[in-house]
Chain A
């Protein structure tokens, strides 16, 4: 149900042409309005407060669809942010700053904020607590190193501090949402790659008939499946930092092979601006390193395990205990 309506919404309002336009202009209003209207943006807000009262894992199909359409906004981040009393309803997109608010000669600055170009608010650490900062008064400077929609944000020295928010683990939430986005994008890349392999002919037959191509796409499918399931684990164990760490680490690792194979199979055409492949593969490159790459999250995980007396298996079981077995025991 949710998946079908999400699919339809993105297929209509988040076509490649919309994504390209958003990347040029930073304009996301129509898509955002549709997502609000469909009830997705306030899905976690309790029903009594006008939301849908769902949990994050219920929304997995919507978030994967957002990734599969390279949605040009931080949807998951915004959905979680909307549960914060400080965030006004009708807030627009809410981005998460990976680094702290810094005072510079030019003013107060947040660097390398993914989706900073399309956000209306940003949640940032300053210096110890997390605050909600409106972008109205900010100067938005594109910072391609944090993604095609990323930005450095600059406020005058006398800008207000912003309201504090309750949650304190936004860096991790940013990481988890990028993992989910990547898993969605990988599903789309697999579809595109299979379709292209069957259509492109060389040596008098479809390249899909070449065993070397089949083996690569077989491997690609494995990584896509693994990415999807570890992103789900992260969403199901939303409050568990280790579940997020598993998701971000595993999906990021998969993203490298999936991106590489997608490009290998597409040949030169996939390198062009005009081909849609880059809309997804560039997102993988960006999201993999946003909010910590594999090494960072692997280290966090390793330390988390070492700080317990659990065996590896016990530790893994404790993380997935939060997820329901598909059929009750």
Chain B
């Protein structure tokens, strides 16, 4: 997913950001489905949507749902204008799947909180203005889901240090973020103190069910399809299987969007979409890489090979980011009453 602040601002000018945000805060109030359709087109075209992605998908809706009136006025217009970019501060070195064990800690002080600790794997941290972070405000790690809260952290505040991490393809899209006595004014606490776990769970339903959980590898499929049309080969069956999966996943994703639009928090269904969707995204480059090399006498276009190799390299991350496969299946099992 490419990053372009300019593209994001142009999207906003077109009225394509903040589609699910109320008009009084600069949004379009057009609903989740209009957003779905627009986002789907952008992803299918491989548009550089990364800059506004997180803010538009989850931070905005989160602030709209849990934020105070003043907070909505402060943050939402910038999000809708494509000028405020957000990142997600959940994971820490010792809190990956076990998110409730976060140790970053905000201590009450006069007029606000003092934050110390560290986040990691934070996508776009170096290029974002704000992070919504899950931190401990009371008790200890043993208290698990109690005592956690969410803050909007201004990443330009003193005491915030960000170090990029390179990924296996050589890109630096995620970072480590360190907090040393960072002052968080009282009115940057989002929602209720201690309600962080519930809020983060609701936020993850947005994160897990959208079209991006299906379409990460779509450029490879489209490229391959073009080549098959130009150079007929006998891969109809493999192509058809990809279509059967893609069509089904889209229906699943839309059905979760319908529940989100109805104000529900479809945690289990979102987990189902994400696990099935990322499995598909992971299978596509594997299958296509094999099909591209099935007949050594044929020369697939170089750019298609490059994209395929790139996506195949990145694909293992699809079932890690946003919650691992095992964690999602565990959530589904809980939803079924098994645990």
**Scoring B residues 294 to 314 as 1 if CB is less than 8 Å from chain A, else 0, what string do you get?**
000000000000000000000
| Closest chain B CB from A311 CB (angstroms) | 5
Alpha-carbon separation in the docked complex, A80 to B119 (Å): 59
Alpha-carbon separation in the docked complex, A82 to B322 (Å): 49
Q: Closest A-chain residue to B229, C-beta based?
A: A306
Q: Is A78 an interface residue (CB 8 A)?
A: no
| Closest chain A CB from B84 CB (angstroms) | 27
Alpha-carbon separation in the docked complex, A63 to B240 (Å): 26
Which of A209, A214, A305 contacts B243, CB < 8 Å?
Answer: A305
A233 touches B338 (CB 8 A): no
Tell me whether A301 and B240 are in contact in the complex, defined as CB-CB below 8 angstroms, given that A194-B336, A215-B329, A246-B247 are known contacts. yes
Q: Is B221 an interface residue (CB 8 A)?
A: yes
Q: Is B286 an interface residue (CB 8 A)?
A: no
| Closest chain A CB from B123 CB (angstroms) | 24
Which of B218, B238, B269, B338 contacts A225, CB < 8 Å?
Answer: B269
A327 touches B237 (CB 8 A): no
Alpha-carbon separation in the docked complex, A197 to B164 (Å): 46
- Chain A residue numbers with a CB within 8 Å of B236 are 298-299, 302-303, 306
Alpha-carbon separation in the docked complex, A327 to B259 (Å): 10
Tell me whether A325 and B238 are in contact in the complex, defined as CB-CB below 8 angstroms, given that A230-B248, A313-B218 are known contacts. no
Q: Is B114 an interface residue (CB 8 A)?
A: no
- Chain B residue numbers with a CB within 8 Å of A299 are 236-237, 240
Q: Which of A296-325 contact B (CB under 8 A)?
A: 297-306, 311-313, 315-316, 319-320, 323, 325
A232 touches B33 (CB 8 A): no
**Which candidate, B55-63, B129-137, B250-258, is the interface stretch facing chain A?**
B250-258
Which of A209, A233, A306 contacts B248, CB < 8 Å?
Answer: A233
Number of residue pairs spanning A and B whose beta carbons lie under 8 angstroms apart: 163
Q: Is A192 an interface residue (CB 8 A)?
A: no
| Closest chain A CB from B37 CB (angstroms) | 7
Question: Interface SS of chain A: helix, strand, loop or mixed?
Answer: helix
A225 touches B252 (CB 8 A): yes
Q: Closest A-chain residue to B211, C-beta based?
A: A313
A232 touches B329 (CB 8 A): no
Alpha-carbon separation in the docked complex, A297 to B243 (Å): 11
Q: Is B272 an interface residue (CB 8 A)?
A: yes
Q: Closest A-chain residue to B37, C-beta based?
A: A329
Q: Is A217 an interface residue (CB 8 A)?
A: yes
B248 touches A327 (CB 8 A): no
By CB atoms of chain B within 10 A, which of A197, A226, A232, A319 has the most? A226
**Scoring B residues 319 to 338 as 1 if CB is less than 8 Å from chain A, else 0, what string do you get?**
00000001011111101111
B218 touches A208 (CB 8 A): no
- Chain B residue numbers with a CB within 8 Å of A300 are 240
Which of B250, B333, B336 contacts A215, CB < 8 Å?
Answer: B333
- Chain B residue numbers with a CB within 8 Å of A327 are 31, 33, 258, 261-262
A320 touches B241 (CB 8 A): no
Q: Which of B33-59 contact A (CB under 8 A)?
A: 33-34, 37, 40, 44
B241 touches A225 (CB 8 A): no
Tell me whether A326 and B258 are in contact in the complex, defined as CB-CB below 8 angstroms, given that A209-B339, A298-B244, A312-B221 are known contacts. yes
| Partner-A contacts on B (CB < 8 A) | 31, 33-34, 37, 40, 44, 215, 218, 221-222, 225, 228-229, 235-252, 254-255, 257-258, 261-262, 269, 272, 275-276, 326, 328-333, 335-339
| Partner-B contacts on A (CB < 8 A) | 190, 194, 197-198, 208-209, 211, 213-215, 217-219, 221-222, 225-226, 229-230, 232-233, 245-246, 249-250, 253, 294-295, 297-306, 311-313, 315-316, 319-320, 323, 325-327, 329
**18 A–B contacts from the bound complex (CB under 8 Å):** A214-B330, A217-B333, A218-B336, A225-B269, A245-B240, A246-B248, A297-B244, A298-B244, A299-B236, A303-B236, A306-B225, A306-B239, A312-B218, A312-B221, A312-B225, A312-B242, A313-B246, A325-B254
